[in-house]
Amino acid sequence: MNGSTGDNNGTMKESKKTVLIVDDNEKIREEVSAHLTKAGFVCKKVIDGEQAMKLASSANPDLILLDVIMPNMDGITFVKEMREEKKDTKTPIIMFTNLSERETAKYLNPKTVQGHISKANLSMPEMLDKVHKEVKAHLG
């Protein structure tokens, strides 16, 4: 996880928080990344759970924004592996999907996922606003 770092003068400054965006839809990945970067976050982007698992280990994101239906490794499998096999129980995961909260709740324990954003029936500005609010709620 990112935190405070020293600068050349020996004083401490807060580093930017990192958000890992996991979505197989390129337009959504790019729009969300641009929006959050403009808001002061560092964004890393991948297209599936397999890539996310690799990057989460090396990039230590402060929050993961996760689609559910993706190729190679879906979001449900990613959460299970991240929480159970990798033993990462601290990194907040926000489900970001066209599935309803009820549909995703069938597969996930609420203790493993800290939020849910449904992309269904939202315009791009509405979706970006919801993402920004959810990320800010968890990372400040």
Q: Which of the two residues, 59 and 18, has the higher pLDDT score?
A: 18
Name the CATH code of domain 17-134 (choices 3.30.428.10, 3.30.70.20, 3.40.50.2300, 3.40.50.300).
3.40.50.2300
State how far the Cα of 46 lies from the Cα of 52, in Å rounded to an integer: 6
Q: Regarding predicted confidence, which is higher, 32 or 2?
A: 32
* φ, ψ (nearest 5 deg) of residue 111: -75, -15
Residue with tokens 């601290």: 90
Query: 138: which residues sit within 8 A by CB, 6+ positions away?
Result: 63, 92, 94, 114, 115
* Model pTM score: 0.85
The tens digit of pLDDT for each residue in 84-138 reads 877 888 899 999 888 877 777 777 777 788 888 888 888 999 999 999 999 999 9
3 state DSSP class of 85: helix
Q: Where are the domains of the chain?
A: 17-134
